[in-house]
C-alpha cells in the first residue's frame, strides 16, 4: 500500500512538472515521495530514527533514513490512520499515547513498515519516541543505537554527543559494511550548510511585511527538510522556495489581498486534511507564516570537523532542554515575524509539548502575543471535531482584530 | 523527621540520595499522596502525568516542608516539565535538573558521573558541606544499610510475618524516603525487631506488583483485602529507590553513577542490546517470587510505561502468567474504583 502510494505520488508529480506545472511545493512533495519510495523499495539500506538524528551523516553513508513519526503523518494525510491506531489498542497500547507513535506501531504490527537494517534512537524530542524505537528494534530484531542528546551545549556535552555520533558512524559501518568516506561526508556537510543558508533566506523573506507565505507553504518544512540534508535535492527545494517567495514579493504584494493577521504555529501541524487553515485565510485574512521548528538554530558545520557541529545542531533544536530556552525561541520568532497571535494545537499524547503549554502561553503573553491552546490529536482524524475548533479559532481571530500589532 | 538538617526535596527514584546526604542535607521525597487542591492544571495539560501534577500541586499549595533546594532528574518528559513548572511557581527556591542517560553504556555512565559532579558543586553552593570521597562513601554505606534492611523486611513480608503486611512495608518505604538514612535505619531495625505476625486462615494469593508511583499504603491494604499477597514489588516508590550499590576503589562518583544506572530500572531506562527487556524482567521477577499473577500499576499518561506495556503483556502471556493492569493518579481515590477488577483477578488466580 505505502510503496504504491509513494510510487503513484511520484509519477503524478513528475507528470505535472513535465507539463510545465511545477512549483516549490511540488518539488518538496516530489522528494518526499521519492524518500517514501526508497524506504519501501526493499533495495536500500534503511534506518528508522528519532527526529534529531544526523540525517546528513547517514545520507553520506548511503543509508536511507527517516524519523518514524513521518510514517504516522503520512498515514494521517492519506486518511488511513484509523485501523493502524486500532491495531495498537488490541495489544494493550493506551489511548493516551501520542498518535504519531501509535500509528507507527500499528503499521509495524500490520507489516506496513519496512524492516530496517538498524535503528537510531534519540532522547530529543521525547520519551515516547525513543520507546517506540526500542519496541521496533525488538519487533524487527534489529540493532538499536541510542543518541543521548544533552540539555545544553556546554563543552563537555558537545564532546559527549559528538563522540556518540562518531561511535554511531562506526556502528553504521559495521552493519552496512561501508566505511565512512571522508570526501562524501565533507560534500554532505557542505550541501547541508548551503541548504541551511538558503533556508535562512526563506525565513527572512517569510518575515517580510506583507509576508509572501500562505499557511500551507511551510507546513512541516523545518522538521522534514533535515531528512534531505546532505543531498543536492535539499538545496534545490530550498532554492525553489526562495525563488517563489522572492517572486511573490517582487510582484508587489503577497498575492492575497486583505491578508492581515500573522500567526505562529507552535509545535507540529495537524497532519490530516481539514479546513481550518483555509478558513483562517479566507474568512479572516490570517496566515500561518511561522512554525516553531521553521528556524535554523545552529551555525554552519565545519566540513573538516563535522561531528561537533552535528552535536551542536542536535542540542540546539528548540524542543531540547528547559522550557526557558524554548520560550526564548518562541519570543524570538514572534518578534522576528511580527506575530499577531500564536496557535498551539496541544497534540494529545505529547507530554513534552503540552506539559509546558501554560508556561509557553505566559511567556508569549509577556511580549503581547496571545496564544490559543487547542485540544487536537494532530494525527487521529477520528477524534477531530472541526466545528468546535472553528468556533474557538473564530473567537480568537475576533479577539486579535481588536488588538494592536506587535512592533519590532 | 530530624529537623536539625536542612532538607533537599526530590521526586524521582533515580535521585542520588547519598550525594545529598554527604553534603549534610536530609533528602526528602515529595510524595504525591497528600491532600491538596488541584492547581497544576494552570500550567500543565490535563494529559500530563498525575504524579508530576500532584508534586506541583503540593508546591503550589504549600504542603511541603521548608526546602533548601529541589533536585530534579531528567528521567522523562513529564519530569523535565515538572522542573520547568516548579521554577515558575517557586522562583526563589534553589533547583537543579540533572540529566539522566536512558542507557547504561560506558560513555553514558561517564556522562552521568559528570552530572553528579555538577550536582555536588551545585548543592555545595546551596550551603552544603564540601563532599569528599570519605563522606560520600559513608553515605553510600548508610543507604546500602537501608537497602539491606529493606531486603530483610521484604523477606519478612513475603513470609507473611510482617505486622501490617505490605501496607506496613509501604509505610516504611515512605518514611525512609522522607527521612535521613540514620532515621530510616533506626526505624527499620525497630520494625525488624518486632515479633513475627503469624496469621491464621487462608493465605493470600501470591502476586508480583510492578509499575511506577504508588506510595499510598492503603492501596496495599486494598490489594490484601481483595485476597492478594504481594510477594515482591518493583515500584519507584518501593524497592527501586533503595537498591544497594558497590563503591569499590577508584572514582567514587563513577561508582555512584554506575550504581544508580545499574539498579532495577524504571521503564525509561533500557538496554539497547536487549530492547523490550522490561517485559522479560517483569516475567522473571514474577517467576522468581513465586507469584501466581502480576499486577501492574502505572500512573496515567506515563509514556515510558505506556509504550512498553504491550511488551509486558506479551512476555507474561508467553510465560502463562495472568496480568492485571491498573492505571491511576497515584492515590487511593482512583485505585479504590478498581476493587471489583482486583477481586475478580485474584479470584481467577485461586
pLDDT tens digits, residue range A235-287?
Answer: 999 999 999 999 999 997 555 555 689 999 999 999 999 999 999 999 999 99
Is the CB of residue B107 less than 8 Å away from at least one CB of chain A? Answer: yes
State the Cα–Cα distance between residues B342 and B350, nearest whole angstrom: 13
Is the CB of residue A229 less than 8 Å away from at least one CB of chain B? Answer: no
pLDDT tens digits, residue range A188-240?
Answer: 999 999 999 999 999 999 999 999 999 999 999 999 999 999 999 999 999 99
**pLDDT-derived band at A301, boundaries 50, 70, 90:** very high
Report whether pLDDT(A407) > 80. Answer: no
**pLDDT-derived band at B2, boundaries 50, 70, 90:** very low
Contact A272, A379 (CB under 8 A): yes
pLDDT of B330: 82
Q: Which residues neighbour A358 within 8 Å (Cβ) at sequence distance 6 or greater? A: B42, B43, B44, B85
The fraction of chain A above a pLDDT of 90, given in percent, is 93
Is the CB of residue A130 less than 8 Å away from at least one CB of chain B? Answer: yes
**Contact at CB, B308 and A92, closer than 8 angstroms:** no
pLDDT tens digits, residue range A94-140?
Answer: 999 999 999 999 999 999 999 999 999 999 999 999 999 999 999 99
Report whether pLDDT(B1) > 60. Answer: no
Q: What is the mean pLDDT of residues B63-79?
A: 97
Q: Which of B56, B77, B305 to mutate to test the interface with A (most CBs of A within 10 A)?
A: B77
**pLDDT-derived band at B329, boundaries 50, 70, 90:** confident
**Contact at CB, A322 and B83, closer than 8 angstroms:** yes
State the Cα–Cα distance between residues A354 and A326, nearest whole angstrom: 13
Chain A closest-CA separation from residue B137 CA (Å): 26
pLDDT of B248: 81
How many beta carbons lie within 10 A of that of residue B246, not counting itself?
10
How many beta carbons lie within 10 A of that of residue A325, not counting itself?
17
Q: Where are the domains positioned within chain A?
A: 2-183, 189-400
**H or E element at residue B28:** strand B26-29
Q: Which CATH class is domain A189-400?
A: alpha beta
**Contact at CB, B303 and A351, closer than 8 angstroms:** yes
End-to-end CA distance of chain A: 49
CA B163 to chain centre: 22
**Contact at CB, B313 and A91, closer than 8 angstroms:** yes
Provide the β-strand partners of residue B118: none
Whether pTM exceeds 0.90: yes
pLDDT tens digits, residue range A343-374?
Answer: 999 999 999 888 899 999 999 999 999 999 99
- Collapsing DSSP to helix, strand or coil, B5 comes out as coil
Report whether pLDDT(A402) > 90. Answer: no
- In the CATH scheme, what architecture does the domain A2-183 have? 3-Layer(aba) Sandwich (3.40)
A131 contacts on B by Cβ (under 8 Å): 267, 303-304, 306-308
Q: What is the mean pLDDT of residues A179-191?
A: 98
B272 contacts on A by Cβ (under 8 Å): 121, 134, 137, 143-146
Asked whether the domain spanning A189-400 has the same topology as the one spanning A2-183, the reply is yes
Q: Which of A131, A150, A307, A323 to mutate to test the interface with B (most CBs of B within 10 A)?
A: A131
Of A92, A146, A323, the CB nearest to B309: A92
**Contact at CB, B81 and A148, closer than 8 angstroms:** no
The fraction of chain B above a pLDDT of 90, given in percent, is 88
pLDDT tens digits, residue range A21-49?
Answer: 999 999 999 999 999 999 999 999 999 99
**Contact at CB, A351 and B76, closer than 8 angstroms:** yes
**pLDDT-derived band at B115, boundaries 50, 70, 90:** very high
Chain B closest-CA separation from residue A354 CA (Å): 6
pLDDT of A363: 97
pLDDT tens digits, residue range B198-222?
Answer: 666 677 999 999 999 999 999 999 9
pLDDT of B199: 67
State the Cα–Cα distance between residues A151 and A197, nearest whole angstrom: 25
Is the CB of residue A95 less than 8 Å away from at least one CB of chain B? Answer: no
State the Cα–Cα distance between residues B183 and B176, nearest whole angstrom: 8
Spatial strand order in the sheet of A341-344: A286-291, A261-265, A341-344, A371-373
- Report which of B28, B22, B91 is spatially closest to residue B55, judged by C-alpha positions: B28
pLDDT of B331: 77
State the Cα–Cα distance between residues A146 and A9, nearest whole angstrom: 33
B117 contacts on A by Cβ (under 8 Å): none
Phi, psi of B284 (to 5 degrees): -65, -40
State the Cα–Cα distance between residues A117 and A45, nearest whole angstrom: 6
State the Cα–Cα distance between residues A356 and B56, nearest whole angstrom: 13
pLDDT of B201: 67
B45 contacts on A by Cβ (under 8 Å): 346, 354-355, 357
- Residue in chain A closest to B105 (alpha carbons) equals A146
pLDDT tens digits, residue range A315-344?
Answer: 999 999 999 999 999 999 999 999 999 999
Q: Which of B39, B45, B89, B309 to mutate to test the interface with A (most CBs of A within 10 A)?
A: B45
Report whether pLDDT(B157) > 50. Answer: yes
A59 torsion bin: left (phi>0), alpha (psi -120 to 50), beta (else): alpha
Is the CB of residue A384 less than 8 Å away from at least one CB of chain B? Answer: no
ipTM: 0.95
Contact B266, A314 (CB under 8 A): no
B52 contacts on A by Cβ (under 8 Å): 355
- Residue in chain B closest to A345 (alpha carbons) equals B45
pLDDT tens digits, residue range A59-83?
Answer: 999 999 999 999 999 999 999 999 9
Of B103, B268, B306, the CB nearest to A93: B306
pLDDT of A181: 97
Q: What is the mean pLDDT of residues B27-33?
A: 96
> Across B139-274, where does the E strand assignment appear?
205-211, 228-234
Q: What is the mean pLDDT of residues B229-238?
A: 94
**Contact at CB, A128 and B300, closer than 8 angstroms:** no
**Contact at CB, A101 and B327, closer than 8 angstroms:** no
State the average pLDDT for chain B.
Answer: 94
Amino acid at each position: 500500500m505505502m510503496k504504491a502510494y509513494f510510487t503513484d505520488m511520484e509519477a503524478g508529480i513528475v507528470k505535472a512538472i513535465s507539463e510545465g506545472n511545477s512549483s516549490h511545493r511540488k518539488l518538496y512533495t516530489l522528494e518526499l515521495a521519492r524518500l517514501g519510495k526508497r524506504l519501501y523499495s526493499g533495495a536500500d539500506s534503511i534506518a528508522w530514527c528519532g527526529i534529531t538524528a544526523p540525517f546528513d551523516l547517514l545520507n553520506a553513508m548511503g543509508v536511507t533514513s527517516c524519523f518514524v513519526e513521518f510514517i504516522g503523518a503520512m498515514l494521517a494525510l492519506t486518511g488511513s490512520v484509523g485501523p493502524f491506531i486500532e491495531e495498537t489498542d488490541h495489544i494493550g497500547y493506551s489511548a493516551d499515547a501520542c498518535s504519531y507513535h501509535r500509528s507507527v506501531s500499528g503499521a509495524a504490527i500490520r507489516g506496513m513498515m519496512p524492516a530496517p537494517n538498524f535503528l537510531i534512537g534519540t532522547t530529543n524530542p521525547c520519551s515516547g519516541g525513543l520507546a517506540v524505537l526500542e519496541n521496533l528494534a525488538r519487533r524487527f530484531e534489529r540493532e538499536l543505537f541510542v543518541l543521548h542528546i544533552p540539555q545544553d551545549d556546554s563543552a563537555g556535552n558537545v564532546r559527549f554527543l559528538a563522540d556518540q555520533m562518531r561511535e554511531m558512524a562506526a556502528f553504521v559501518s559495521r552493519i552496512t559494511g561501508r566505511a565512512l568516506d571522508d570526501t562524501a561526508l565533507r560534500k554532505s556537510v557542505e550541501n547541508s550548510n548551503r541548504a541551511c543558508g538558503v533556508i535562512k533566506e526563506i525565513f527572512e523573506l517569510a518575515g517580510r511585511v506583507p509576508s509572501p507565505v500562505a499557511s500551507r507553504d511551510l507546513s512541516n518544512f523545518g522538521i522534514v527538510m533535515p531528512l534531505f540534508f546532505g543531498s543536492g535535492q535539499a538545496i534545490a527545494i530550498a532554492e525553489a522556495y526562495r525563488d517563489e517567495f522572492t517572486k511573490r514579493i517582487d510582484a508587489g504584494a503577497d498575492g492575497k489581498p486583505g491578508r492581515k493577521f500573522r500567526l505562529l504555529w507552535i509545535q507540529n501541524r495537524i497532519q490530516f486534511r481539514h479546513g481550518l487553515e483555509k478558513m483562517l485565510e479566507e474568512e479572516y485574512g490570517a496566515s500561518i507564516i511561522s512554525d516553531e521548528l521553521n528556524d535554523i538554530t545552529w551555525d554552519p558545520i565545519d566540513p573538516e570537523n563535522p561531528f561537533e557541529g552535528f552535536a551542536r545542531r542536535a542540542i540546539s533544536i528548540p524542543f531540547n532542554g528547559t522550557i526557558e530556552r524554548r520560550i526564548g525561541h518562541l519570543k524570538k520568532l514572534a518578534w522576528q515575524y511580527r506575530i499577531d497571535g500564536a496557535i498551539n494545537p496541544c497534540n494529545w499524547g505529547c507530554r513534552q509539548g503540552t506539559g509546558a503549554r501554560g508556561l509557553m502561553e505566559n511567556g508569549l503573553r509577556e511580549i503581547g502575543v496571545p496564544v490559543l491552546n487547542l485540544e487536537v490529536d494532530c494525527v487521529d482524524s477520528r477524534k477531530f471535531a472541526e466545528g468546535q475548533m472553528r468556533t474557538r479559532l473564530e473567537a480568537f481571530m475576533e479577539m486579535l482584530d481588536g488588538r494592536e500589532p506587535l512592533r519590532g | 523527621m530530624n529537623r536539625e538538617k536542612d532538607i533537599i526535596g526530590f521526586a524521582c527514584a533515580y535521585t542520588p540520595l547519598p550525594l545529598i546526604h554527604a553534603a549534610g542535607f536530609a533528602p526528602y521525597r515529595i510524595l504525591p499522596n497528600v491532600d491538596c487542591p488541584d492547581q497544576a492544571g494552570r500550567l500543565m495539560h490535563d494529559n500530563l502525568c498525575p504524579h508530576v501534577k500532584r508534586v506541583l500541586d503540593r508546591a503550589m499549595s504549600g504542603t511541603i516542608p521548608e526546602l533548601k533546594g529541589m533536585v530534579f532528574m531528567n528521567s522523562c518528559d513529564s519530569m523535565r516539565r515538572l522542573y520547568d513548572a516548579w521554577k515558575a511557581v517557586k522562583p526563589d527556591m534553589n533547583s537543579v535538573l540533572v540529566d539522566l542517560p536512558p542507557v547504561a553504556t560506558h560513555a553514558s555512565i561517564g556522562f552521568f558521573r559528570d552530572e553528579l559532579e555538577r550536582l555536588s558543586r551545585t548543592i555545595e553552593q546551596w550551603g552544603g558541606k564540601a563532599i569528599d570521597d570519605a563522606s560520600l562513601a559513608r553515605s553510600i554505606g548508610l543507604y546500602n544499610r537501608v537497602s539491606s534492611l529493606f531486603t530483610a523486611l521484604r523477606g519478612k513480608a513475603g513470609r507473611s510475618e510482617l505486622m501490617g503486611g505490605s501496607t506496613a512495608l509501604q509505610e516504611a518505604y515512605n518514611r525512609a524516603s522522607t527521612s535521613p538514612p540514620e532515621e530510616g535505619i533506626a526505624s527499620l531495625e525497630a520494625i525488624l525487631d518486632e515479633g513475627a505476625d503469624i496469621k491464621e486462615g487462608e493465605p493470600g494469593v501470591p502476586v508480583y506488583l510492578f509499575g511506577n508511583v504508588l506510595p499510598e499504603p492503603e492501596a496495599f491494604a486494598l490489594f490484601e483485602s481483595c485476597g492478594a499477597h504481594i510477594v515482591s514489588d518493583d515500584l519507584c516508590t518501593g524497592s527501586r529507590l533503595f537498591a544497594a550499590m558497590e563503591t569499590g576503589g577508584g572514582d567514587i562518583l563513577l561508582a555512584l553513577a554506575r550504581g544508580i544506572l545499574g539498579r532495577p530500572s524504571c521503564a525509561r531506562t533500557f538496554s539497547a542490546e536487549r530492547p523490550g527487556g522490561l517485559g522479560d524482567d517483569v516475567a522473571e521477577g514474577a517467576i522468581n517470587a513465586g507469584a501466581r499473577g502480576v499486577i501492574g500499576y502505572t500512573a496515567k499518561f506515563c509514556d515510558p510505561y505506556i509504550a512498553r506495556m504491550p511488551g509486558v503483556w506479551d512476555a507474561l502471556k508467553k510465560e502463562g502468567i495472568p496480568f492485571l493492569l491498573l492505571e491511576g493518579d497515584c492515590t487511593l481515590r482512583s485505585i479504590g474504583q478498581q476493587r471489583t477488577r482486583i477481586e475478580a483477578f485474584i479470584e481467577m488466580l485461586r
